Amino acid sequence: MDRRPLLTIDGVQKNFGGLVVLDGVSFEAYSDETLCLIGPNGAGKTTLFNIIAGALPPSAGCIRLDGHDITRLKPHVRCRMGIARTFQIPQPFAALSVLENVEVALEFGRRGGRGSDVVQARALLERARLTRWMHALAAELPLGARKRLELVRALATEPRVILLDEVMGGLSPEEVDEVAAIVHGLKAENVGVIFVEHVLRAVMSIADRIIVLHGGRLIADAAPAEVSRDPAVIEAYLGGALDAAAQP
């Protein structure tokens, strides 16, 4: 039986005046894989996330979720349909507690059964080892905890596909392992994961497939081992870094 893509990116272009940031990017993502998007700064990764999530309109091309064209839908509509995202710089409700932040996300993303928001929020916080912070204001959290809260809030919306924008950036090795374990487990929950990351060892351990952007164009789409040996990728971006990360 053929696999049906959960998310389809079809010929997406983004121009800012005369600057072409994305140039005809196309790929498919599936609910049973973890897909990593890499490339040098300015390659168009975050712009692509903004277009998928609805924060920016594409100049051309379309986005389909489970076969439905969502290209012109508002961000909150896409979220309710099952697209969640995190940001490079966490953006919690700073004046609310950690628990309240998660409860708000649970209520916003509710599409199915009801239940106790407190119970569900506590379970999500426990999963990310944030229970010790649950009654603290979000503004008081250290970076690692804020990053994990950002991930938990996205998960609380009950996503079908989650976009993770450098969720491991700036974390300690132990914190990277904690977040990587959460991300790795999402595949078993039938949640499609697309993540942008510069922590290459995490990329190589988590990703089922890697897409490489360079100059707004897709230059590689393959398994991690294959990407690490791709001459175009090595020349354009990585040098020996990804190849070294691929070593045991």
CB neighbours (10 Å) of residue 248?
2
Whether the pLDDT of residue 164 is over 60: the answer is yes
Task: Report the predicted TM-score, pTM, of the whole model to 2 decimal places.
Answer: 0.89
Residue spans of alpha helices (H) in the chain: 45-53, 75-81, 98-109, 117-127, 143-156, 173-185, 200-206, 224-228, 231-233, 241-245
- pLDDT for 111 equals 52
Mean pLDDT for 146-155 is 94
Mean pLDDT for 242-246 is 52
- pLDDT for 1 equals 44
Mean pLDDT for 71-100 is 93
Q: Which domains does the chain have, with CATH numbers?
A: 7-91+162-245 (3.40.50.300)
